[in-house]
Structures are given as C-alpha cells and as structure tokens.
Amino acid sequence: MSLTVPTRTAVGCTLLVLALGTGVTACGGDDDPLAAEPYDAADQVSFQGPHRDGKKADPDKPLEIVAEGSRGRITDVTAVDAAGRYVAGELSADGSRWHSTSPLAADARYTVRVSTEDDEGAPGRKVLTLDTGRPTTKKRLDVTFGPKAGTYGVGQPVTARLSAPVREPARRAVVERALKVTSTPAVPGAWHWVDDTELHYRPAQYWPAHATVRISSGLAGIKLGDRLWGGTARPLTLTTGDSVVAVTDASSHTMTVYRNGQEIKQIPVTTGKAGFETRNGVKVVLGKEPFVRMRSTTVGIAEGSSEAYDLPVHYATRLTWSGEYVHAAPWSVGSQGSANVSHGCTGMSTGNAEWFFDTVREGDVVKVVNSYGDTMEPFGNGFGDWNLSWDKWRTGSALTGGGPDGPGPQEPARLRPTAT
C-alpha cells in the first residue's frame, strides 16, 4: 500500500518513492527549513509497505529513492542517523534512482535529504525522517579493544577482539569501516586481520612520541549477516611516551638505546648461542617482571642434560610469550660484549638490566639485527607486527587490500619463561 501527500503548486514536481519493505515513522514537513525552499521536490511522496503511524522500517531492507516521470532527476541523497553514521549509496547515471549500498543500523532514526533538479535546472529538496526497528535476532558482534587505557611506547599496536568470527570479505569491510582510530598528531594507519576474530591496527611508521590515540566503534545496530548484528564496544584512549628504541646487534654483542632519536646508552650484551639463536627483527615490550624463575624443562630441555638450567632471574623485560627476555645475567658478564652464550635471551649485567628495566615501558621497541636466528613472527608470539612492510601490512585489510601508501617501519603460543 502507498500513502500519497496532497499535491502542492510547484515548478516541475518530482515523484519520489522510498522503498524499505516496511513503513516509515514520519516525514519532514513544512517546519523543516530545507522543505520550506521554493521548490519542494517531494509534493507527491509514496511509501511502499505498511503505512500506519509509528510503524518502523525494517533495517534488513535497503533504502531506495526513485524519481518518477520525465520532469526531473535526483542529484544527491544523504542518509545519516542520530549517531552521525552515514549510509553509503549509489545514484544511477540518469538520476532516476538512488539505493543504499551499506547496511542500515537497527533501532536508529535516520534523516534522509534528497536533492533534485527539474527539466529547467531548478533545484529542489526534500527531507524525510524514518525510524528502523530492532534486530530480529539477539546474536551480537561485540568488540573489545586493547591494550588497557594508559601510556605506551611508540611500537604498541591497537587490538580489536571480536566476539564472533567474521570470514567473508564484504562483512570484514563493514567491520573495518566501523572501527575508528584517530591520533593527534595524525598519522596514516590501517587494520590488519590476524584471524577471523582479531584485528591489529598500526601506523605506517611508529606512533609519534607523546601522541593521543582514540579508538571507537560504530558497529552497534549494524547488520553483518543473516543472524549477526553489530554490538557494543567500549571506546579506548591511549597515549604514547617518549620514543624509546633499543637496537641489539648480535654480531657486535651490543645494545644501543635511543630516546627520541638520540643515543642515550650502549650496553655490552650476550645473545643466543648456536642452536638457540635470538630471533631477528622488531619486537615490542610486553611487560616487565622483577623476578622470574627460568627452567630449561619448560622448553623441552631435559633435566640433567648439558644445556639444562634452573636460575633465578632479575629485571626481566619480556619480548615474546614463548619466553624471550632482556634480563640480568651476572653469570655471563665475562662474555657480554664479546660472545653469544645464552639460550635466546639478551643478557646483561645486573646494573644495566636494572637501568633498562627502569627505562622502557610496555610498547617500547627492541630490534635485533645480525643474529643467525629466524625472524620474529608477525603474530602469535607477541607483537611482531612491525616485521611486515607497510605494503604487506595493508594486504591484510579488507578495505585497502594492499598497495603502496607511505613508507614502511622506521627502525624497525603463550608459554612459560624459557631462555637465560
């Protein structure tokens, strides 16, 4: 059934049809400043579907607006809800039809502004408002952002964990568009899908020092599938401290620490020996533990073997979940600066380890070069995100799908503690 508003005298009237599959709660009237313009383009408006007052539109149905007759055409349509979320749409080349190409939110009020032009070029405009109903299912996709609010190093990625898997590229694109990350100062960045339930966000280069990063979601009420709707997400604000980057050269047995690009300390170290080589690449500080008991049995080295160890370790700065640390190693001071004798960790004197422990924070960067070890994994064993080039990183986005857009990084299975 359709509802027709009585015709008013106008120049080149245009019939607009709003098709939603169900009804609309209200339409803009003479009190709307846009509808009061000389050329009211919607003198005849028809709503297809139920037309009783208070009936809500079905968010499962697309929004469609059609200009009927030969006396005018649509030139522009914008649809935005009360939360400021715009509906993407597509206008036909001849201006006869506009339809939405992104999902409507459930339980939301939309304002739809339609601009037209008659056959003499005179502009017209009409404003419509409509309410959408609630989802027909209670299954929601909630998002949890990480890390916790606080101050981090410039290498800290943002994480988004989803309460349900999202596999299809089109649905992933909807999720990405809704997950907003802004920083002050502004820097380019992108999401990367680690798997079906987790995304990481990082800039093209490290975050600027002393930046503010805000993360939020606009997924609430957005349809993602036949039985899945966007749910809630608590917004998150992070800040960064000084840029602290430590570069460990396994061949020269030194660690050089930089703050805001300036060298502040060079430390003699020992890294992994043959068979236990330290991973190359960029790692991000995961946490700091004043004391850790490191035992070889946790990584499959048999008790009583020549490589067995069971040691109390102080000032341990964790780099991987599998147990790679920067820590105090007073038993290897004679080799620090001259030989690699550890089981994969970076060892240094107790005094230097205490200084490093006090200097770095979670999210700071440790880069290992010139080791014979493998390269740090991008995911699954800590934050190896920076070991992907910017081009490669962007291939993990459902929106960009790869391609050059800025430079790569500058400097560059959860287990118990392992190496010494």
Give the closest residue to 240 by CA, choosing from 215, 200, 213, 205. Answer: 213
Specify whether 27 is catalytic.
no
Alpha helices in 223-315 (DSSP H): none
3-state helix, strand, coil in the chain (%, to 5): 10, 40, 50
Gap between the Cα atoms of 64 and 300, Å rounded? 63
What is the C-alpha separation between 391 and 404, in angstroms, rounded? 5
CA–CA distance, 409 with 388 (Å, rounded to integer): 8
**Catalytic residue list contains 253:** no
Q: Are 58 and 50 in contact (CB under 8 A)?
A: no
Nearest by Cα to 60 from 137, 114, 129, 113: 137
**Residue 364 φ/ψ, nearest 5 degrees:** -70, 165
| Widest Cα–Cα separation across the chain | 98
Q: Are 255 and 346 in contact (CB under 8 A)?
A: yes
Distance, CA of 205 to CA of 228 (rounded, Å):
35
Strand pairing of 236-240 and 150-152? Answer: parallel
- Please pick, among 192, 200, 253, 327, the residue that the annotation labels catalytic: 327
User: 33: cis peptide before it, omega within 30°?
Assistant: no
**Contact between residue 389 and residue 204 where contact means Cβ atoms under 8 Å apart:** no
Joined tokens for residue 70:
């030969």
Write down the catalytic residue from 192, 253, 343, 345: 345
Rounded Cα–Cα distance for residues 14 and 120 (Å): 13
Alpha helical stretches, state H, 222-360: 350-359
Answer yes or no: are the C-beta atoms of 412 and 385 closer than 8 Å: no
Residues 6 or more apart from 355 whose CB is under 8 A from it? 265
CA distance linking residue 20 with residue 13, whole number of Å = 23
Residue positions annotated with a catalytic role: 327, 345
